Structure formats: structure tokens, C-alpha cells
Amino acid sequence: MDAAAHLLGPIVAISGSLRRDSINSAALRAAAAAAARHGVVVAIDDSMRALPFFSPDVEQFPPEEVRRFRETCRNAGGLLFAVPEYTFGIPGAFKNALDWLVGSGSLYQKPVALLHLASVGRGAHVREALAHVLRAHNAEVTHHLVPIATRDRDADGEIDETRIVGELWAVVAELAKRATAPRAA
Ligand SMILES: Cc1cc2nc3c(=O)[nH]c(=O)nc-3n(C[C@H](O)[C@H](O)[C@H](O)COP(=O)(O)O)c2cc1C
């Protein structure tokens, strides 16, 4: 990374799945581990779990969990999202998290890399839905197809297959090149 890298915000990774054994969360752990081996910090943030349901009534003076989540996203140099498709769309918990970021403008011009892990021929609906929603946030989005199957996971559910880990690192490396400095609140 170049000399100015320390001025950039960290890369923050968020899984759109709350499932304990989530393949999306496993992919982000593998991406973070690969990045660490290259000297790049990817911070996995699962604070979405603690967010209340979005309501415009509390938008102006949101609870602490929301303020912290907004700050994490605003300060990120780039965001790495891995989101499964639920019923042809975005999982509710993740969409809820995104809704909290509209009023704060936390994703405005933010580099966002979307990891799509579904096998070929699947996941097109969530890709399209995320593209629409993140356009409304004015985020700078790139899409990355990295199909991962259950057989690509080890006995602990982690992803250590060399080719896939290489592809995950390539996504992070590209995002790191696009990373920006934190914007003032
Ligand atoms: C409620 C629910 C709805 C789903 N709907 C779809 C769907 O519409 N299209 C699809 O390709 N997969 C669908 N799936 C499959 C998930 O996208 C898939 O299992 C994914 O790997 C789950 O991600 P995770 O392992 O990170 O939790 C659905 C799964 C669940 C639990």
C-alpha cells in the first residue's frame, strides 16, 4: 500500500446474513485473513445485529447503536458487503441497516464492493436489488462474482481453498485502491 494509506479509512466488511453458519460471513472472514497477510486491515462489523427497526420518527435522534453504525460506515475507506438472496430480494435485516444510512448520507460516494457468492444462474435478483438501492445512496458500487459452494468449506466451515482465497483478496485489493479518506460528519 502507498505512503498515504494511513490517511484512508479502514475497509469495513459487513455480512448480510445473521445465520451462525453463514457462507457469506465465512467469505468475509477469509477475505479479511487474506488481506491481513498482505498488510491490509479489513474490519468485520456485525453491529447490524443490534440495530432496531428503522423508523423515520427516530431518524433525527437515533439510538446509540445506530449512531455508531453510521459512524463506522461514514469513516470506512471502503465497504465490502456479502449478502445472500432471500425470496428474490435483500434480507430484511440488511435492508434495515441500509435504511438507517440514508438520512445520514453515510454511503454517499463511498466505494462499495459487493461480493456475490451464489452459484452461476442464481442470485440475480439480489444483485439487481442491491444495485438499485445503493444507487439511491449514491454509493460507488462494483460487483464481484465469486461462486462458493458448501464443498469449498473445511470441517470448521471456513474457506481456505487457494483459488477462492485469491479471488477474495483480489476484490479487497481493488477496493483498497479505491478507498477514500473519512468525510467530515
Ligand atoms: C428465507 C430464505 C429465502 C431464500 N430465498 C432465495 C432466493 O430467492 N433465491 C436464491 O437463490 N436463494 C435463496 N435462498 C438461499 C440463500 O440465498 C442461500 O442459502 C445462501 O447461501 C444463504 O446465505 P448464508 O449462508 O450466508 O446465510 C433463501 C434462503 C432463505 C433462508
Task: Say yes or no to pLDDT of 2 above 60.
Answer: no
Compute CA distances 145 → 20, 40, 177, whole Å. Answer: 23, 21, 19
Task: Say yes or no to pLDDT of 70 above 50.
Answer: yes
Report which of residues 18 and 4 the model is more confident about: 18
In this predicted structure, what is the pLDDT of residue 168?
Answer: 98
Q: How far is the CA of 171 from the centre of ligand 1 (A)?
A: 22
Average pLDDT over the chain, rounded to an integer: 95
Q: How far is the CA of 83 from the centre of ligand 1 (A)?
A: 9
Instruction: Please report the atom of ligand 1 found closest to the CA of residue 26.
Output: 26
Instruction: Give this prediction's pTM.
Output: 0.95
Q: Percentage of residues in the chain with pLDDT exceeding 70?
A: 95
Ligand 1 contacts CB of residue 85 (under 6 A)? yes
Using DSSP bridges, classify how beta strands 42-44 and 111-116 pair: parallel, antiparallel or unpaired.
unpaired
Q: Which CATH number fits domain 16-178: 1.20.1440.80, 3.40.50.300, 3.40.50.150, 3.40.50.360?
A: 3.40.50.360
Q: How far is the CA of 54 from the centre of ligand 1 (A)?
A: 23
In this predicted structure, what is the pLDDT of residue 56?
Answer: 96
Q: How far is the CA of 84 from the centre of ligand 1 (A)?
A: 6
What mean pLDDT comes out for the span 46-61?
A: 96
Ligand 1 contacts CB of residue 122 (under 6 A)? yes
Ligand 1 contacts CB of residue 22 (under 6 A)? yes
Ligand 1 pocket: which of 85, 115, 145, 148 to mutate (most atoms within 8 A of CB)? 85
Ligand 1 contacts CB of residue 53 (under 6 A)? no
DSSP string over 80-144: EEE---BTTB--HHHHHHHHHHHHHTTTTT-EEEEEE-SPTTS-HHHHHHHHHHHHHTT-EEEEE
In this predicted structure, what is the pLDDT of residue 4?
Answer: 55
Note the pLDDT tens digit of each residue in 86-136.
999 999 999 999 999 999 999 999 999 999 999 999 999 999 999 999 999
What mean pLDDT comes out for the span 70-99?
A: 98
The domain segmentation of the chain, as residue ranges, is 16-178
